[in-house]
Structure 1
Amino acid sequence: MTDLDQRPPPSRAGHALRRAAPALLVYAGVRALGLAVLAAWGAAAGKSPHTLLTARWDSLWYTRVAEHGYGWEVTLPDGSVHSNLAFFPLLPWLERLVATTGLSHADAGLVVSWVASLCAAAGIFAIADHLYGRRAGICAAALWAVLPVGIVQSMAYSESLFTALAAWSLYAVLRGRWVTAGLLASGAGLTRPVGAAVVAAIWAAAALQVVRERRAGAVRERRADARMLLGVVLAPLGAAGYVLWVGHRTGGGLLGYLDVQAGWGNGFDFGYAFARFVGEKFTSVPGALAGVGLIVGVALVVWLYVLGVRARQPLPLLVYCGIVVVLALCAAGYFGSKPRLLMPAFPLLLPVAVALARLRTSRSALVLGGVAVASAAYGAFWLHGSGPP
Structure 2
Amino acid sequence: MRQSPRQRPRPRLPPPGAARRAAPGPGRAGKPPPRPSPRRHPPRRWCRRAPPTPPPPQTRPSRRHGTAVRLAGLLFLGVWAHHQDHGLWPILARQWDAKWYLGIADHGYAREVGTEGSNLAFFPLYPVLVKAVAAVTPGTRATTGLCLAVAASFVAAWGVFAVADRLYGRRVGVLATVLWAAFPVGLVQWMGYTESLFTACAAWSLYAVLTRRWLWAGTLAVLAGLTRPTGIAVAAAVTVAALLSLRRGFSGRALTAALLAPLGWCGYLAWVGLRVGRWDGYFAEQRVWSNEMDGGRRTLREFRQLLVRDPTPHLFLLLVTLVLVVSVALFALSARDRQPLPLLVFTGVTLLIVLTSGGVYFPRARYLLPAFPLLLPLALRLSVATRRHRALVLTAAVAGSVYWGAHMALVWPGAP
What is the TM-score when the length of structure 2 is the normalising length?
Answer: 0.82
- Report the CA distance shift for 1:327/1:104 in structure 2 as closer, same or farther (over 3 A): same
Aligned with 2:363: secondary structure? Answer: helix
In 2, the alpha carbon distance for the partners of 1:166 and 1:30 equals 22
1:388 corresponding residue in structure 2: 415
Instruction: For residues 62-110 of structure 1, give each alpha carbon's deviation from its aligned partner in whole angstroms, at most 9, with x where no partner exists.
Output: 00111111127897xxxx8551111111000111122120221111110
1:140 equivalent to 2:166? Answer: no
Deviation string 1:179-224 (CA, Å, 9 cap, x unpaired) is: 000000000011011110011101111222233x2xxxxx55xxxx
- The match for 1:95 among 130, 134, 138 is 130
The equivalent residue for 1:26 is 65
Shift of 1:239: 1.4
Corresponding letter in the other structure for 2:94: A
CA distances 1:316-374 after superposition (whole Å, capped 9, x unpaired): 00000001111111111210001001111111100001111113556534431332122
Query: Number of residues paired by the alignment?
Result: 361
Q: Report how far residue 289 of structure 1 moved.
A: 8.7
Residue number in structure 2 paired with 1:49: 88
Using the alignment, how far apart are the partners of 1:291 and 1:60 within structure 2?
23
Does the Cα contact within 8 Å between 1:203 and 1:232 map onto a contact in 2? Answer: yes
Instruction: Classify 1:92/1:257 alpha carbon distance in 2 versus 1 (closer, same or farther; 3 Å).
Output: same
Residue 323 of structure 2 contacts residue 365 of structure 2 at CA under 8 Å; is this kept in 1?
Answer: no
**Are 2:100 and 1:65 aligned?**
no
Q: CA offset at residue 232 of structure 1?
A: 1.3
Residue 84 of structure 1 aligns to a residue in which SS?
coil
Q: Which residue of 2 aligns with 1:301?
A: 327
Looking at structure 2, the residues matched to 73 and 251 of structure 1 have their Cα atoms a distance apart, in angstroms, of 9
Residues 112, 276 of structure 2: 8 Å contact kept: no
Q: Does the CA-based 8 Å contact 2:233-2:350 persist in structure 1?
A: yes
Supply the AA of the counterpart residue of 2:353: L
Aligned counterpart, 1:271: 296
1:85 aligns with 2:120: yes
Mark the CA change 1:290 to 1:58 in structure 2 (over 3 Å): closer, same or farther. Answer: closer
Counterpart position of 1:179:
215
CA distance 1:291–1:381, change in 2 (3 Å): closer
Compute the displacement of 1:154 (Å): 0.7
Rg comparison, structure with higher value? 2
**In percent, how many aligned pairs have the same letter?**
43
| Alpha-carbon contact 2:111-2:275 (below 8 Å) kept | no
1:369 equivalent to 2:402? Answer no
Mapped contact 1:82–1:263 kept (Cα < 8 A) = no
Which of the pair is proportionally richer in helix? 1
Q: What letter corresponds to residue 270 of structure 1 in structure 2?
A: G
Per-residue deviation, 1:280: 2.6
Match of 1:113, as an amino acid? A
Q: How does 1:155-304 map to 2 (within 5 A)?
A: 155-211=191-247, 213=248, 219-220=249-250, 225-253=251-279, 255-281=280-306, 282-287=308-313, 296-304=322-330
Calculate the TM-score normalised by the size of structure 1: 0.88
| Structure 2 CA distance for partners of 1:292 and 1:106, relative to 1, 3 Å | closer
CA distance in structure 2 between the aligned counterparts of 1:297 and 1:166, rounded to whole angstroms: 20
Unaligned runs of 5+ in 1: 1-11, 214-218
Aligned counterparts of 1:293 and 1:185: Cα–Cα separation in 2: 30
Could you tell which deviates more after superposition, 63-72 or 170-179? 63-72
Matches of 1:291 and 1:335, distance apart in 2: 8
Q: 1:24 to 1:363 in 2, by over 3 A?
A: farther
Query: Contact (CA 8 Å) 1:73, 1:84: kept in 2 or not?
Result: no
**2:404 corresponds to which of 363, 378, 388:** 378
Task: Indicate conservation of the 8 Å contact 2:113/2:285, yes or no.
Answer: no
Unpaired segments ≥5 residues, structure 2: 1-52
CA contact (8 A) 1:81 1:264 kept: no
Structure 2 contact 296–357 (Cα < 8 Å) conserved: yes
Structure 1 residues 297 and 71 mapped into 2: Cα distance closer, same or farther (>3 Å)?
closer
